[in-house]
Structure 1
């Protein structure tokens, strides 16, 4: 679950304190006692890169839509009443920043800034250098503890008391930072690099999966296709009338395609730029963040199979429908025949049948507001 701070300035103060306390106290009271000068220089160099990446993650604008932006044909027309402008694909209005953010990933309390298209690179680099530095430090702190334990019978004057105190404090603190930042970094890599999607889009994918499991997604996709692809309406009408598609044993991937997932290499290049610049402060995304290259599956052909037509729908394919929970009953009636008699059973509706999109939560317990999205502007048409 995202952290919500009572005083937003703590989101900057806490990381600055941790970087300074762990980094400089470790160097002054522990590393100076045994580490080679070359490794000490490397440690300070990695600390500098943390500060630079953190500064850029805070002050780099994540990007917003150009005024009078117009959606392309066969794209959703998502109008933001607060910005009085159409949102580009993948953009959302941040309630904290008060603007529409390009390819919004989430609003980060630790940078007091949204993570979006134009500052995802410095944000990811910040996580990388924190992991590199804390991992390097954790290894040497543990190494020093093992050395002192093996030589615990040495005279006390050979071991500084300040070193023992800071080893006791900094080792678990450094390990905690390493563990938490690594988990966030892995999640970002899994979403953005290996899946090509932001955290919000990953949340959307899980929501669609829940609708599919509840057997409510395909009718919404057919409705979207009817609206966006008028050339295929006759084919869609036939499917609606015969219900052939609904009766087939289809998998989720047969009808839902995330159009912006190209390949891990291409996904990384879109966000981080040229590979030689990935770890440097000047590396940045390609393009303008208002249009994105799509995979081949998303190409629309009017006379193709109905499944291929549904795969060509823009994201999200159901148009972010609010029908995720509205219009359903609190009970589901099941009937079956047993021993020549018809039995009727009432059971509570599944969880995803009872909530609307704005209230739906994924397995992490997150909804749209947890990512900072202003749900009042999430009207797609």
Structure 2
């Protein structure tokens, strides 16, 4: 669930306090008592990389569509607040008050959006937090084991194990483990979305919304997509395609038509291409603190299923619909009234829908309880 802070500066203050409290107290009260100088330096290097990557995630602009003048605007949306066309995958952030290229989400802990040009810094920040907390947890556990093994020994001077060290071991060990697990969950979510599926958190939310609508009982979602095909490609409204439409709807009603056979996420390519889009093509760029992707964030490579070819089967054309295929409105079959009819007139199959724009603005929530607005998207401009 997205976190909303009344005072935005708290989002910066809390992480800074946690990094300082765990890192420097652990070093001064615990690590300096038993760790070699070399390992202490390594720990401080890890800590410095956290600060650097965090600073860059805060102050790097995620990217905005400057001088974006597309030739084809048929599948693009116009942002009234920015007074410009929004590139594919871009959204207007209500907090940053700008359109953000390949917007992933607005992060309250950086007071900044995570988008095309600072996603690498954000991900590197998570990685350095994981490396540092894992390294520290290992050292803390080693120290705890040493103290426990020698708890009854008279050979250890009380000056080697101080009361303050025991106090901070008790506080910092579970605290450090908690931070590691929390960031690990977020890191896995980011890797699953961007690297394995090629999508932002917003796009993953959209995909879940579409799938939920598709499999809902008595859903008319498929009919809506077919109407979308006819709106975008009027020449495809042939007798053959109308007949195929009726067949697809019948297969869907019997549970024999899977969601992913009619809906395609166009930006999911191979894992290497997904990494290149998010982090850059060279492995050296993945770890270099200031590195950003080589592209401009305005145009993205599409997969093989997203290309429209005139005269293709209706099912292939459905896969080629621009993302999101229903136009991107927040809707669910449960919360709005939609009537899609499949009727016959003069031997032709006709699909009709009386769905209205107002009805389709009903918000949908995923299993985390998140709405599109929770990712920072301005609902008035999306």
Common topology (TM > 0.5): yes
Equivalent residue number for residue 345 of structure 2:
none
Q: Shift of the alpha carbon at 1:130?
A: 0.2
Distance 2:239 2:144 in 1: 71
RMSD (CA atoms):
1.8
The answer to whether the 8 Å contact 2:306/2:320 transfers is yes
Match of 1:278, SS state, is: helix
Distance 2:229 2:288 in 1: 43
Query: Runs (4+) of structure 1 moved beyond 3 Å?
Result: 154-158, 321-327, 355-358
Equivalent residue number for residue 85 of structure 1:
84
Q: Shift of the alpha carbon at 1:20?
A: 1.1
Distance 1:327 1:236 in 2: 31
Distance 1:373 1:113 in 2: 13
The answer to whether the 8 Å contact 2:267/2:300 transfers is yes
Q: Shift of the alpha carbon at 1:234?
A: 2.0
Q: Deviations for 1:175-195, whole angstroms, at most 9, x for unmatched residues? A: 111010010000000001101
The answer to whether the 8 Å contact 2:101/2:116 transfers is yes
Within a 5 Å distance, the mapping from 1:146-161 to structure 2 comes to: 146-155=145-154, 156-161=158-163
Equivalent residue number for residue 246 of structure 1:
249
What is the aligned length?
A: 351
Residues 1:286 and 1:239: Cα distance change in structure 2 (over 3 Å): farther
The answer to whether the 8 Å contact 1:69/1:87 transfers is no
Residues 1:235 and 1:17: Cα distance change in structure 2 (over 3 Å): farther
Equivalent residue number for residue 292 of structure 1:
300
Q: Deviations for 1:246-304, whole angstroms, at most 9, x for unmatched residues? A: 11221111001100001111111111111122111132113111110011111111121
Equivalent residue number for residue 333 of structure 1:
none
Residues 1:272 and 1:235: Cα distance change in structure 2 (over 3 Å): farther
Equivalent residue number for residue 223 of structure 1:
227
Q: Shift of the alpha carbon at 1:236?
A: 7.5
Distance 1:374 1:16 in 2: 28
Equivalent residue number for residue 115 of structure 1:
114
The answer to whether the 8 Å contact 2:330/2:364 transfers is no
Structure 1, gaps ≥5 residues long = 330-354
Within a 5 Å distance, the mapping from 1:48-59 to structure 2 comes to: 48-59=48-59
Q: Shift of the alpha carbon at 1:82?
A: 1.2
Match of 2:238, SS state, is: helix
Within a 5 Å distance, the mapping from 1:358-373 to structure 2 comes to: 359-373=363-377
Q: TM-score, normalised by structure 2?
A: 0.88
Residues 1:15 and 1:211: Cα distance change in structure 2 (over 3 Å): same
Q: Shift of the alpha carbon at 1:71?
A: 6.2
Alignment partner for residue 265 of structure 2, among 249, 258, 265?
258
Distance 2:173 2:336 in 1: 54
Q: Shift of the alpha carbon at 1:232?
A: 1.8
Equivalent residue number for residue 286 of structure 2:
278
Q: Shift of the alpha carbon at 1:157?
A: 3.8
- Higher mean C-alpha deviation, range 128-137 or range 75-84: 75-84
Q: Shift of the alpha carbon at 1:358?
A: 5.1
Residues 1:158 and 1:40: Cα distance change in structure 2 (over 3 Å): closer
The answer to whether the 8 Å contact 2:306/2:319 transfers is yes
Q: TM-score, normalised by structure 1?
A: 0.88
Distance 1:43 1:268 in 2: 28
Match of 1:61, SS state, is: coil
Q: Deviations for 1:108-146, whole angstroms, at most 9, x for unmatched residues? A: 000000000110000000000000000110111111111
Match of 1:89, SS state, is: coil
Task: Determine whether 1:318 maps to 2:317.
Answer: no
Residues 1:83 and 1:236: Cα distance change in structure 2 (over 3 Å): farther
Match of 1:362, SS state, is: coil
Match of 1:359, SS state, is: coil
Distance 2:50 2:43 in 1: 11
Alignment partner for residue 337 of structure 2, among 308, 311, 328?
328
Equivalent residue number for residue 168 of structure 1:
170
Residues 1:367 and 1:235: Cα distance change in structure 2 (over 3 Å): farther
Match of 1:187, SS state, is: helix
